[in-house]
Amino acid sequence: MKIRSISAASPLLLAIALSGCAGLFPNSDITVTTYASSGERWLNAGFYIIEHPFTDDGSARAKTKAAQLCSEHQRVAVQSERACTMEQCTTNYVCMKPEDAKASGL
C-alpha cells in the first residue's frame, strides 16, 4: 500500500521539479514562426517572425536564433521589420544568400 502512494505521488513531484526548471532554458521566452517563400530572388528563402522580450538581451537572442536558423540553409539573417510594446517585440527576419544581402547593401 505504501508503494502505491509513493508511485502515485511521483508524477506530481516530477511536474513540480520540472516547473522549477522552466526559467533555465535560455530561449523559453522566444517564439519563432516560420514561413517559406519562393521567387526569383528569394528562391527557398525562409522568413521568421520572432517574438521576444523588449530588452537588449531579448533582441540579441532573437538575432542569434534567426542567424542559427538561416545558417542551416547557408543563408544570412536580415532583419526586415520590428514592432515593440513596452514588454514584447516582434521582429521579422528573412534568410538571404550572402551575395544577395551584400548586393542589396543589407
3 or 106, which is more confident?
Answer: 106
pLDDT band at 12 (very low <50, low <70, confident <90, very high): very low
The pLDDT of residue 37: 58
Nearest one of 21, 32, 42 to 96, comparing CA atoms: 42
Average pLDDT over residues 37-43: 53
What are the angstrom distances between the C-alpha of 54 and each of 28, 62, 64, 68, 100? 14, 11, 15, 20, 30
Residue 95 has pLDDT above 60, yes or no: yes
pLDDT given at position 89: 95
Domain ranges of the chain: 25-103
Model pLDDT for residues 50-74, shown as the tens digit of each residue: 999 999 999 999 999 999 999 988 9
